[in-house]
Protein backbone atom coordinates (compact mmCIF):
# COMPACT_ATOMS: atom_id res chain seq x y z
CA UNK A 1 0.00 0.00 0.00
CA UNK A 2 1.37 3.41 -0.97
CA UNK A 3 0.96 6.36 1.38
CA UNK A 4 0.10 8.94 -1.32
CA UNK A 5 0.95 12.61 -0.94
CA UNK A 6 -1.92 14.96 -0.07
CA UNK A 7 -2.91 16.20 -3.52
CA UNK A 8 -4.61 19.42 -2.46
CA UNK A 9 -1.24 20.74 -1.27
CA UNK A 10 0.71 19.84 -4.39
CA UNK A 11 1.66 22.14 -7.28
CA UNK A 12 0.09 21.26 -10.64
CA UNK A 13 3.34 19.77 -12.05
CA UNK A 14 3.62 17.39 -9.10
CA UNK A 15 -0.06 16.42 -9.37
CA UNK A 16 0.42 15.59 -13.05
CA UNK A 17 3.55 13.54 -12.32
CA UNK A 18 1.80 11.64 -9.53
CA UNK A 19 -1.16 10.88 -11.81
CA UNK A 20 1.23 9.56 -14.42
CA UNK A 21 2.99 7.37 -11.85
CA UNK A 22 -0.28 6.18 -10.30
CA UNK A 23 -1.42 4.89 -13.72
CA UNK A 24 1.59 2.55 -14.09
CA UNK A 25 1.48 -1.16 -13.38
CA UNK A 26 4.49 -0.70 -11.07
CA UNK A 27 2.59 1.73 -8.82
CA UNK A 28 -0.52 -0.45 -8.90
CA UNK A 29 1.55 -3.45 -7.82
CA UNK A 30 3.02 -1.55 -4.86
CA UNK A 31 -0.34 -0.04 -3.92
CA UNK A 32 -2.18 -3.37 -4.00
CA UNK A 33 0.45 -5.16 -1.92
CA UNK A 34 0.43 -5.54 1.84
CA UNK A 35 3.73 -3.70 2.38
CA UNK A 36 3.46 0.00 3.22
CA UNK A 37 5.44 2.37 1.00
CA UNK A 38 6.24 6.09 1.54
CA UNK A 39 7.61 8.58 -0.95
CA UNK A 40 11.18 9.68 -0.31
CA UNK A 41 11.53 11.79 -3.47
CA UNK A 42 9.43 12.67 -6.49
CA UNK A 43 9.74 14.92 -9.56
CA UNK A 44 8.65 18.50 -9.00
CA UNK A 45 8.78 19.61 -12.64
CA UNK A 46 7.72 18.16 -16.00
CA UNK A 47 11.36 17.74 -17.09
CA UNK A 48 12.43 14.18 -17.78
CA UNK A 49 13.59 11.87 -16.48
CA UNK A 50 10.80 11.63 -13.91
CA UNK A 51 12.11 9.61 -10.96
CA UNK A 52 10.07 8.43 -7.98
CA UNK A 53 11.74 6.87 -4.95
CA UNK A 54 9.75 5.09 -2.24
CA UNK A 55 10.85 3.25 0.90
CA UNK A 56 8.99 0.38 2.47
CA UNK A 57 8.33 -0.29 6.13
CA UNK A 58 10.78 -3.20 5.85
CA UNK A 59 13.51 -0.88 4.50
CA UNK A 60 13.40 -1.79 0.81
CA UNK A 61 13.68 0.93 -1.81
CA UNK A 62 11.54 1.16 -4.94
CA UNK A 63 12.74 3.38 -7.77
CA UNK A 64 10.62 4.14 -10.81
CA UNK A 65 11.81 6.26 -13.74
CA UNK A 66 10.07 7.60 -16.83
CA UNK A 67 12.66 8.80 -19.35
CA UNK A 68 12.40 11.31 -22.20
CA UNK A 69 11.00 8.90 -24.82
CA UNK A 70 8.47 7.61 -22.26
CA UNK A 71 10.18 4.31 -21.42
CA UNK A 72 9.46 3.15 -17.89
CA UNK A 73 11.80 1.36 -15.50
CA UNK A 74 10.99 0.08 -12.03
CA UNK A 75 13.04 -1.85 -9.51
CA UNK A 76 12.93 -2.79 -5.86
CA UNK A 77 16.16 -3.12 -3.88
CA UNK A 78 17.02 -4.33 -0.40
CA UNK A 79 18.66 -1.66 1.77
- Tens digits of per-residue pLDDT, 31-71? 999 999 999 999 999 999 999 999 999 999 999 999 988 89
Please give the pLDDT value at position 70: 87
The three-state DSSP-derived secondary structure of the chain is CEECCCHHHCCHHHHHHHHHHHCCHHHHHHHHCCCCEEEEECCCCCCCCEEEEEEECCCEEEEEEECCCCCEEEEEEEC
pLDDT computed for residue 67 by the predictor: 95
The pTM of the full predicted model, rounded to 2 decimals, is 0.93
Split into its structural domains, the chain has a count of: 1
User: Does residue 28 surpass a pLDDT of 90?
Assistant: yes
Q: How confident is the model at residue 13 (pLDDT cuts 50, 70, 90)?
A: very high
How large is the average pLDDT for residues 1-12? 94
Structural domain including 71 reads 2-78
Amino acid sequence: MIHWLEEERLPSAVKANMARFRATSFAKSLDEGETRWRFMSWPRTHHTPLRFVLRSEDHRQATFTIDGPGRQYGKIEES
